[in-house]
Amino acid sequence: MDMLDPLIHAERWMLEGKEVVIATVVKTWGSAPRPVGSHLVICEDGTFEGSVSGGCVEGAVIEEASEVMKSGEPKMLEFGVADETAWRVGLSCGGRIEVYLERVG
């Protein structure tokens, strides 16, 4: 497994004693850039690896991750062009995705 593998990074950060949030694509509708099961992992120091889209919603997911990091409560996020936030964080491809955020530990 190579240096692009997000779960390897997540484990390393965890072993360094850092807080880690794992974001996972759990559902897609229409044309979605990344398949179900794809991961974006976020470290407490702001570093992240992997992807849940083609870069369109990563910023929003990382923002939400800080809250999950604090509370420890998992969270489900939905992104799609139908959202009122479409111009900010919508998927330009016209798809819709559901992303599950959870803290490690």
Partner 1 sequence: MDPNLLKKLNIERAARRACAVVTDLSDGRDRLVKQAGSDVIQGPLGNAIQAALRSGKSSIFDTEGRRFFINAHVPALRIVVIGAVHISQALAQIAKAVDYTIDIVDPRTAFATPERFPGVDVYAQWPEDYLAAHPLDTYTALVAVSHDPKIDDAPLIEALYANCLYVGALGSRKTHSKRVERLAEAGILQEKISRISSPIGLDIAAASPAEIAVAIMAEIIQVLRLRDGA
User: Which residue ranges make up the site for partner 1 (CB under 8 A)?
Assistant: 1, 7-8, 10-11, 14, 22, 24, 26-27, 35-37, 73-74, 76, 100, 102-105
Residue 25 Cβ, how far from partner 1 at the closest point, in Å? Answer: 8
Residue 88 Cβ, how far from partner 1 at the closest point, in Å? Answer: 26
Identify which of residues 88 and 96 has a Cβ nearer to partner 1 in the complex.
96
Residues forming a β-bridge with 49: 41
Pairing of strands 48-50, 75-80: unpaired
Identify which of residues 4 and 86 has a Cβ nearer to partner 1 in the complex.
4
The span from the first CA to the last CA of the chain, in angstroms, equals 23
Please state, in angstroms and rounded to a whole number, the distance separating the CA atoms of residues 22 and 29: 21
